[in-house]
Amino acid sequence: MVRTRVKHPSVAERVEAGKDCRKRTPLSALEGWVPAPGRPDPVALIEEQNLTREPDLVPVRHGRMLASPFTFYRGAAKIMAADLKDTPRAGLTTQLCGDAHLSNFGVFASPERILLFDLNDFDETLPGPFEYDVLRMSASFTIAARNNGFTAEEALGVTLAAVRAYREAMRGFAKMGTLDIWYARLAEADLLSAIELAVDTSKGKEQKKAAKRAEKNAEKTARKARSRDSLQALSKLAERVDGKYRIVSQPPILIPVRELGDSLGLSPEEMQDAAREQLRSYRSTLQDDRRLLLERFEIVDVARKVVGVGSVGTRAFIALLQGRDAEDPLFLQVKEATRSVLEDHLPKSKYRQPGERVVQGQRRMQAASDIFLGWTKGVQENRYLYWRQLRDMKGSVVVEAMKPLGMDFYARTCGWTLARAHARSGDPIAIAAYLGKSGKFDDAVTDFCGRYADQNEQDYQAFAEAVRSGRLAALEGV
């Protein structure tokens, strides 16, 4: 039996380790970023991902990415991963979300039925340099701000707000006890209190109006999230036939397996049998009390469902289960897990099963995770899946509708949230010591983000030209 000795350096040693990193990698190291020589063709990287995706959904993915430079960025995690591998790094590792753009934050219900704000997508999670998530998040604000027509000064301001919030939050976490960090969370009440404070302290008629609008939007998002549960999903996604519910057909977005024919290499009857076997296998990855709870539900129907932007084309399903009767539904989402895009450039995951990689990464980073979060191996070779509830009071902001003041508040909220996620799995004392009290890191990251937004625009134009030329097929508006 191999025993690993866990080291416990003192606070002073951890501070010194963080400061030593500055000698190797100055805080200004990210300034003046330019693409590395021989940078891969971004369109070729997208084509490479398409090889393992559902052929009929690849045009849908392209169509969603084509909507704007911002939606392109959402689907371009593989492209940015290739760019990040050549950026300076301090050498401080944490669990990464891997795709921490601003649309991958949102609200959802904790097991105690409290609405929390947190990261909510972990398809690319992997241990790695903390800067990777900071850059992915911050650049998304620059790109979204430009997409919304903000001035250059406003775009710079919201980006700077995100980075500064991360750095200052990490300083706060560095002073907290280990369990206090683990229990830290941003609940609905905390979020609304912070917005109310912003309204009270805002100056000028226009700023007060903008703050009030942001407050109303936040309250609307929370109300909508609380209404999104399995009963609401039943009314939207299912129909009653011969006294039983079944998932409705809404191709190409939602197709019951009974209509998929042989496109998955299985007959509808084989798919139903496979779904039941998958459910049994998945239940075994849950802790006992949750496994016993899930055993009270039986599977009723399964359908393929298109979700997101970057993940379109990977296999994704929803499963309708029922408990005591047909009016007691539970919808589970089943998503394909592939290799993280970061594994092209960082050490491979210690988990051989990509679904477990996603689940364990999520549990490390989130303040609270879905009680039904688990994984299984797919029926076919080299297919891996993870499971979670489809709708558990989930909600998100409409990025394209955000104004500067609202996006500034949102940027600070995301910055704090990312810092808390990193503090749970990394060393907040060393990271805070490296970042320091000045704004040097903030300025360097903001400079990088402006330059990367320019590069993203060029990549988007190359992508759009590939669609126009017929190199890539795109189905828009779906």
Per-residue pLDDT at 349 exceeds 90: yes
pLDDT on residue 217: 81
Indicate whether 473 belongs to any domain.
Answer: no
Can you state the angle between helices 404-425 and 354-365, rounded to 10 degrees? 110
What pTM value is reported for the model? 0.95
pLDDT on residue 262: 65
pLDDT on residue 192: 84
> 65 and 212 share a domain?
yes
Indicate whether 167 belongs to any domain.
Answer: yes
Percent helix, strand and coil across the chain, each rounded to 5? 50, 15, 35
pLDDT on residue 263: 65
pLDDT on residue 173: 98
Per-residue pLDDT at 371 exceeds 60: yes
> 114 and 167 share a domain?
yes
Per-residue pLDDT at 350 exceeds 60: yes
Quickly list H helices, 284-403.
288-294, 354-365
Indicate whether 474 belongs to any domain.
Answer: no
Environment class of residue 105 by beta-carbon count within 10 Å: exposed (0-12), middle (13-18) or buried (19+)?
Answer: buried
Q: What is the pLDDT of residues 375-412, one digit of tens each?
A: 999 877 789 999 999 988 999 999 999 999 999 999 99
Q: Summarize the confidence of residues 420-430 as an average pLDDT.
A: 97
> 27 and 150 share a domain?
yes
pLDDT on residue 207: 75
Structural domain ending residue among the three candidates 343, 359, 389: 389
> 138 and 42 share a domain?
yes
- The rounded Cα 217 to chain-centroid distance in angstroms is 21
Which residues in 303-329 are b (16+ Cβ under 10 Å) and which e?
bbbbebbbbbbbbbbbbbbbeeeeeeb
Indicate whether 6 belongs to any domain.
Answer: no
Q: Summarize the confidence of residues 167-172 as an average pLDDT.
A: 98
Per-residue pLDDT at 210 exceeds 80: no
Q: What percent of the chain has pLDDT over 90?
A: 83
Residue 251 to residues 259, 306, 366, 383, Cα–Cα distance (Å): 10, 10, 33, 23
**Are the beta carbons of 70 and 148 closer than 8 angstroms?**
no
> 282 and 146 share a domain?
no
Q: Summarize the confidence of residues 133-138 as an average pLDDT.
A: 98
> What pLDDT band is residue 231 in, cutting at 50, 70 and 90?
very high
Q: Summarize the confidence of residues 232-237 as an average pLDDT.
A: 94
Q: Summarize the confidence of residues 199-228 as an average pLDDT.
A: 80
pLDDT on residue 82: 98
pLDDT on residue 343: 98
Per-residue pLDDT at 214 exceeds 90: no
Residue 267: which domain range? 230-389
Other Cβ atoms closer than 10 A to 93: 19
Spatial CA neighbour of 61 closest among 311, 383, 256: 311
Q: What is the pLDDT of residues 244-293, one digit of tens each?
A: 999 999 999 999 988 886 666 677 677 778 888 999 999 999 999 999 99
Per-residue pLDDT at 71 exceeds 60: yes
Q: Summarize the confidence of residues 11-20 as an average pLDDT.
A: 98
Indicate whether 113 belongs to any domain.
Answer: yes
